[in-house]
């Protein structure tokens, strides 16, 4: 009999019905084998060797028995580094013989054909991914187990701090501390003789946007424009070919829907489990539709429509449209002649028909602040953690959601900001271990999974950055005083 390990009771029932009587499907979820709760469990002196214990004995006993009786074992848990590492620990506990086949199955969809395709392309467990998952677990334990007691000693009722949550906290603090830009650019609004209005930005003769760091200079130009002569200096047009957008991945989906990343992932997982879409947990995989006759309602339906529209549009042919633009000239003269240049672009198909030398009426003008950076949202923060190799995207989403839930961060006008509690925790970290959570200094889990960085080197670097916060041993020399007479 073949054994299939899954991490969801609902999936276990569904897959068991597809596979038939020659298969056994068992549920393996949670930390069945993990680091101890009452000890560090990491031997720093021995290359950060972990000491695992059985945390759920009844489940472990059942699974070990099932693995021992199976002729072949398939791992079909979530396609994440943590799940791979947890499965490896269970297999080590079961002492699987080397000649017993063990394979990793990546389910892209929950149809019968998708299941058969996944089983047919099953691969051996990737030792590099296991190493990356083990590194992340060790890093979280070193930071959480050693720092949290110190934080609570100094701050009282403070939330626990972990490796990933510390990085997320530092990123939000960096965003909060960034100074707003003092630059502005000038947008003018014009009208044709036919009454059609449009806007244009002020540019140099070479076509570069003009910015102002002194508001008075912009106000001076606005006064000039109110009495300037304006006309179309030159019009241009060219055909532009657009390729259809590819299907959504989890990363693009969380950035384009009005829900939090955690809720989006939960709903996308529900759609997957109901066989509406492919697996959202596979790194950078496109979310593709599967056949399902049932109907959806509410936010679940709205999310499905968003995924479906992109998936269907990806198969559409190339489209070609004409992109039009115009250079506008403004001339003002009093004590001297002043020439101003503006550029109008038909990016949203709103530019009216213009011809060279058409006269224009100046209507209004505004100074627009230069945006230095997009606001840091839950979605962008989770994506940043993933992009910089700190963790995979589903894990990053969970970390950001937990940080908000702990009261350390809050959404303000769509952007994440530290609360007083979060700022206090960040200030403590900055005072005791300022380099620990800098984003360039992450464990680079992605590099370990790719085989370009060793677990030992990554944890050694983390350990060195952790040292300033830890109590140091007393190295003062022992002084012996003679006995008094």
What confidence tens digit (pLDDT) does each residue in 57-85 have? Answer: 999 999 999 999 999 999 998 889 999 99
Q: How far is the first Cα of the chain from the last one, in angstroms, to the nearest whole number? A: 85
Q: What is the mean pLDDT of residues 79-107?
A: 91
Residue boundaries of the structural domains of the chain: 2-125, 152-177+375-469, 184-242+319-369, 250-313
pLDDT digits (tens, 9 = 90+) for 266-298: 999 999 988 889 999 988 888 888 766 567 889
pLDDT band per the 50, 70, 90 thresholds, residue 50 = very high
Which has the closest alpha carbon to 198: 344, 70, 57?
344
* pLDDT given at position 339: 85
Q: What is the pLDDT of residues 351-364, one digit of tens each?
A: 898 999 999 998 88
Q: Does domain 2-125 have CATH number 3.40.50.140?
A: yes
- What whole-number percentage of the chain has pLDDT above 90? 57
Identical fold, 2-125 and 152-177+375-469: no
Q: Based on the number of CB atoms within 10 Å of its own CB, is 284 exposed (0-12), middle (13-18) or buried (19 or more)?
A: exposed
pLDDT at 226 over 90: no
pLDDT > 80? residue 483: no
Non-local (6+) Cβ contacts of 316 within 8 A are 244
Task: Kindly report the CATH number that applies to the domain delimited by 152-177+375-469.
Answer: 1.10.460.10
Does the structure show a pLDDT above 80 at 110?
A: yes
Question: For domain 184-242+319-369, which architecture applies?
Answer: Distorted Sandwich (2.70)
The pLDDT, as a whole number, for residue 485 is 40
- Give pLDDT, residue 48: 94
């Amino acid at each position: 009999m073949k054994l299939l390990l899954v991490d969801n009771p609902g999936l276990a029932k569904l897959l068991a019905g597809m596979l038939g009587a020659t298969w056994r499907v068992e549920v393996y979820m949670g930390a069945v084998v993990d680091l101890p709760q009452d000890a560090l469990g990491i031997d720093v002196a021995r290359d950060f060797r972990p000491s695992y214990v059985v945390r759920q004995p009844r489940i472990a006993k059942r699974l070990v028995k099932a693995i021992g009786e199976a002729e072949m074992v398939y791992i079909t848990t979530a396609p994440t580094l943590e799940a791979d590492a947890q499965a490896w620990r269970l297999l080590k506990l079961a002492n699987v013989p080397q000649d017993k086949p063990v394979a990793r199955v990546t389910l892209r969809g929950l149809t019968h054909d998708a299941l058969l395709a996944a089983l047919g392309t099953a691969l051996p467990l990737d030792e590099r991914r296991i190493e990356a998952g083990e590194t992340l677990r060790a890093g979280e334990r070193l930071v959480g187990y050693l720092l949290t007691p110190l934080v609570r000693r100094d701050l009282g009722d403070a939330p626990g701090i972990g490796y990933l949550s510390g990085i997320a906290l530092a990123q939000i603090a960096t965003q909060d501390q960034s100074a707003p830009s003092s630059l502005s650019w000038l947008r003018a609004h014009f009208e044709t003789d036919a009454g059609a209005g449009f806007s244009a930005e002020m540019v140099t003769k070479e076509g570069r946007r003009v910015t102002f760091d002194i508001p008075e200079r912009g106000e001076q130009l606005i006064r000039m424009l109110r009495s300037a002569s304006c006309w179309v200096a030159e019009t241009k047009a060219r055909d532009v070919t657009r390729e259809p957008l590819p299907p959504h991945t989890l990363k693009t989906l969380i950035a384009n829907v009005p829900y939090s990343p955690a809720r989006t992932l939960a709903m996308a997982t529900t759609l997957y489990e109901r066989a509406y879409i492919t697996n959202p947990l596979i790194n950078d995989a496109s979310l593709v539709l599967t056949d399902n006759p049932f109907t959806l309602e509410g936010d679940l339906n709205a999310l499905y429509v968003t995924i479906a529209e992109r998936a269907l549009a990806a198969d559409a042919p190339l489209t070609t449209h004409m992109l039009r633009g115009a250079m506008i000239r403004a001339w003002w003269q009093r004590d001297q002649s002043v020439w101003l240049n503006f550029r109008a672009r038909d990016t949203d198909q709103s530019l009216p028909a213009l011809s060279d030398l058409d006269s224009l009426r100046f209507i209004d003008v505004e100074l627009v602040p230069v945006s230095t950076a997009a606001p840091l949202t839950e979605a962008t923060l989770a994506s940043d953690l993933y992009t910089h190799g700190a963790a995979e995207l589903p894990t990053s989403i969970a970390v950001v959601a937990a940080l908000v839930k702990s009261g350390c961060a809050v959404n303000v006008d769509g952007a994440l900001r530290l609360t007083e509690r979060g700022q206090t925790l960040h200030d403590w970290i900055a005072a005791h271990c300022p380099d620990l959570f800098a984003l360039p200094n992450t464990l680079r889990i992605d590099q370990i999974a790719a085989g370009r960085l060793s677990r030992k080197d990554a944890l050694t670097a983390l350990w060195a950055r952790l040292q300033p916060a830890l109590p140091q041993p007393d190295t003062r020399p022992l002084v012996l005083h003679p006995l008094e007479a």
